[in-house]
Chain A
């Protein structure tokens, strides 16, 4: 089962290594991890995508919360149930002829992706969406053109509505 875990932690040296260390120490997977300072520069917000059983996710949450440098931990719900998640995808591909360029352009339009860099033969596309949408975008693109490089940011997530994660 897929779990998205949101963590609010001190923005200090060693804090991230404690979070990452906990995952390896206790044998949990990290499928993706993002971290950056928040509007309060003394705090960082981290989103981790992991897979495992339900009680494993519960245990991860508790263990994370136990870390001295961690303020808040919560498991983010799936979008239908109250969570929001986004991922940024950058894709680089060869566009050797006009018909491929046109096809890529129209596909980008359908997916609301942007072409952020191009020359005659190489397009770089930017796409923002959920993990499933990102997967779909990359897969569809791969069917019409050979993809050279994919960079995914990893998930960032936030709860819908009036649920706030604050210290």
Chain B
């Protein structure tokens, strides 16, 4: 058997698992591994902050479904990744983070750059390993990939002490071994009886609705969701994470539900008699007050994670299993039953009335660009140019406007931090998405607050000539918090003014990029078109937007799905 040292085994396992790209940042506790990466075919992307590195791995994983991989050093290297791990955990994104650790003889001595990485990361990872001896490395890394990419996906940390990577200690390398973990066996197939009950319920429902969550996107179940929706003529609604899980331009698609969901989506949910929910955890931002949630609806809930079922909204027909597999089972069951579904024309008539409310309409302003106007224009130009970009967002008003206005007909093309709501994820996620899809256009829509949380990663775009397009919706305030202050805190704008912002155009120029500022509605469309027609260069566009625009619709807290404020009630 081949003899390799610990550091070589790290790199070899990654190669054997088909990894060809990792994101990271070196430091004392991982120098042996970096020494081996030097000769490896695996490409290493040097981030400018460990958080950025893990967000990049996250964007890579979100956009192509493979496990994202990152490597950082011990202590501060590891603690800097906590937000990014929690981001991936919040949205069930498969990634493996390798962290260096001080030598086993120093663990527990408060050594230089020592931190209890397992302890610090435990609540924000799916699982974690500490390799106490070199022989643990290959085994644990293989398990980490297996755990990250199966069941409800998520980030896994593998902590490797410095002495376990030692160059001079050679030991047997097991080239291949099947991973099985006796205490971990995620359910794939749905219970047959439950599947049949769900199929019958779908056929007899008078006012059914399909609700898709991130599990449909991450579980590659969009084809099956589409087939069921078409077969039964179901209205389809998505959560924030479910966006791109169903073609948004399809006439059966009603948009996102929830706090800033569309009027027709929230009304349809509220009035439904059956919710066919797949891969969603009924998060608080989606349901508003659970006790008032969709009073008449029976709930069919498919999820790979049994703990997500009946956690908040009770399920009448729970089905544990993989979204894609279970939906295929349901399609088979529908064929087997062979009954015609109930006639939904009355239900659709009602839905069309909801749609007529036209909840996304807004007044254009003559002197300022409204964020909605930007979104509509961007959406229009993307269609006109017939491109299918990956679009990442940060967190705040621009994120909600993106979710409301933009169209996605292909899965995995909308990358956003839904669960944790991490500002600063947009640019590094765009970098990850571009590396995963080197021929696709990638757009990052961000805010002037969010962008400054990880703007150092522009250096990666410079180094690797990544032609990402960044649109900063720049209203010089923290818009979402300000919106709260405006309505609930008597316009007491505490700490939401971003006075002191840099000149973003010059900032782009400092990295050797083109920066453009747009203030005028009249220039908006042409600028967007020109930017999207420059496929080979990174361009930053500073879009100066109206400070007072609020994201609408807006559910009232502790209400039902239909307790919404709408644009026409506001004077903006």
Contact = CB atoms under 8 A, between A and B. Distances in A.
A25 B121 CA distance: 12
Contacts of A59: 307, 311
Contacts of B130: 13-14
B127 A62 contact: no
Contact of A21 (B122, B183, B184): B122
Nearest to A21: B122
B307 A62 contact: yes
B122 A17 contact: yes
Given A14-B130, A59-B307, A62-B307, A167 B183 contact: yes
A68 B122 contact: no
Contact of B305 (A13, A66, A69, A71): A66
Contact of A68 (B132, B181, B305, B306): B181
Given A59-B311, A62-B307, A167 B182 contact: yes
A19 B147 CA distance: 18
A66 B183 contact: no
A65 interface: yes
Given A10-B183, A59-B311, A68-B147, A17 B119 contact: yes
A13 B108 CA distance: 15
B307 A18 contact: no
Contact of B183 (A14, A25, A70): A70
The contact size tier of chain B is: 20 to 34
A69 B311 contact: no
Interface residues of A, number: 20
Contacts of A68: 126-127, 147, 181, 183-184
A55 B310 CA distance: 9
A127 B396 CA distance: 60
Question: Interface of chain A, helix or strand or loop or mixed?
Answer: helix
B118 interface: yes
B123 A25 contact: yes
Most buried by A among B181, B307, B310: B307
A59 B122 CA distance: 19
A156 to B, nearest CB: 21
Contacts of A18: 122
B154 to A, nearest CB: 10
Interface string B174-214: 00000001111000000000000000000000000000000
B305 A21 contact: no
Interface string B119-151: 100110011101010000000000000010000
A17 B116 CA distance: 13
Contacts of A167: 182-183
B184 A63 contact: no
Interface string A32-70: 000000000000000000000001001100110110111
A81 to B, nearest CB: 23
A64 B307 CA distance: 9
A55 B181 CA distance: 29
Nearest to A13: B130
Nearest to A24: B123
Contacts of A13: 130, 132
A52 B478 CA distance: 40
A21 B127 CA distance: 13
A63 B310 CA distance: 12
A9 B182 CA distance: 10
A139 B341 CA distance: 66
B183 A62 contact: no
A58 B307 CA distance: 9
A14 B181 CA distance: 16
A68 B126 CA distance: 8
Nearest to B156: A68
Contacts of B126: 68
A21 B116 CA distance: 15
Q: Which 9 A-B pairs have the closest CB atoms?
A: A62-B307, A71-B183, A68-B127, A68-B184, A63-B307, A66-B307, A25-B123, A62-B306, A21-B122
Interface of A: 9-10, 13-14, 17-18, 21, 25, 55, 58-59, 62-63, 65-66, 68-71, 167
Given A14-B118, A17-B119, A69-B183, 20 more contacts: A10-B183, A13-B132, A14-B122, A14-B128, A18-B122, A21-B122, A21-B123, A58-B310, A63-B307, A65-B306, A66-B307, A68-B127, A68-B147, A68-B181, A68-B183, A70-B183, A71-B182, A71-B183, A167-B182, A167-B183
6 contacts: A13-B130, A14-B118, A21-B123, A58-B310, A63-B307, A167-B183
